[in-house]
Amino acid sequence: MAPWWNDQFANPASRLHRPGLLAAAAVEQARGRLAAGLGLALGDGPAGMDSQHWAVVFTSGATEANNLALKGLAEAELTAGGQRRHLLTLATEHRAVLDPLRYLACHGFRLTELAVGADGLVDPAALEAALQPDTLLVSVMAANNEIGVLQPLAAIGALCRARGIRFHCDAAQAVGHIPLQPAALGIDLLSLSGHKLYGPKGIGALVIAPGVRLAPQQHGGGQEGGLRAGPLPVPLIVGLAEALALALADREPRAARLGALRDRLWAELQALGGIQLNGALAPRLAHNLNVTVAGVDGTALHRALRRQLAVSSGSACSAGSPSHVLA
């Protein structure tokens, strides 16, 4: 990332001078590397977009990618005169999915927030039963950010595909950690985030299947094929692509190592007694464990541990309120 902060600082949208062209080439190379990491080939158009190919639109993170995917799809449906008004998601999704969908539910759409099982997983049959004739979109995350469980994406993708329903997947916790090929899973829109795979904060992307139409949610200079206006942060984009390549290069040994450490931690915690596992142990991210310690006040436990460990009694996005995922 360093040269792109200090020496090669030109705006990649400035195509009339050499430094701008070099910055633009770095962005396009990063876009191609990111796509390749997801098993995708891009087209030649802006953001890799054309009718045959997948596109990658850079955003400030998964929050913005989710907003663009969900609100962009809903608005495009309205603009095109489409009649689909029902949206479906899980009750355990990240707030960056739930809040844009709840916003849409205040603006003419209907939202189902489907309950998951006690193991944190959605039953595809229950999801199928909750689909309606006018379902526009299903949004289901790949890996839960609190309990780490992996949702059955291929089954959900097949249900959506058979009905012409668009399938959005918030994969912020999964990209770089588990094998993920959106094309094979029937995913139409996939959100990812740099800082969830050892990349920089402030960068992410929305990956868009061929033929999916979105209304831009940020207007201005027409960057990213008109889907996301604003100058591109070249150092962050280069860093995101490099982070994904590094994460994929040692993904399997890293998962094996962290999985073994996690299993040992869980075995020793279990031996203490009074500690309950939250969410299915499998399928689950190798580096995730989430437990409830019975009969102990969270604040007191946090105070006892915080000098030795980086611990929280809630996720960074929940600001002190009890976890809706655990609830």
Ligand X SMILES: *Cc1c(COP(=O)(O)O)cnc(C)c1O
Residues that bind ligand X in the complex, under the rule CB under 6 A: 61-63, 94, 96, 141, 145, 170, 172-173, 193, 196, 204
Closest CB to ligand X belongs to which residue?
A: 61
CA-CA distance, 58 to 232, in Å (whole number)?
8
Judge whether 106 counts as a catalytic residue.
no
Phi (first) and psi of residue 85, to 5 degrees: -130, 0
Choosing from 106, 160, 169, 317, the catalytic residue is 317
**103 or 222, CB closer to ligand X?**
103
Q: Are 285 and 177 in contact (CB under 8 A)?
A: yes
From the centroid of its chain, how far is CA 30? 18
Q: How far is the CB of 111 from ligand X (least distance, A)?
A: 18
Phi, psi of 137, deg, nearest 5 = -150, 140
Least separation in angstroms between CB 172 and ligand X: 4
Tell me how far, at minimum, the Cβ of 224 lies from ligand X, in Å.
17
SS3 at position 241: helix
CB of 175 to ligand X, least distance (A): 10
Yes or no: say if 36 and 49 are a contact pair by the CB < 8 Å rule.
Answer: no
Contacts for 6 with CB less than 8 Å, ≥ 6 apart: none
**Closer residue to ligand X, CB minimum distance, 135 or 139:** 139
**Burial bucket for residue 123 (CB in 10 Å: 0-12, 13-18, 19+):** middle
Choose among 178, 192, 197, 190: nearest CA to 285: 178
Nearer to ligand X by C-beta: 173 or 288? Answer: 173
Nearer Cβ to ligand X, position 24 or 236? 236
Active site positions, annotated: 317
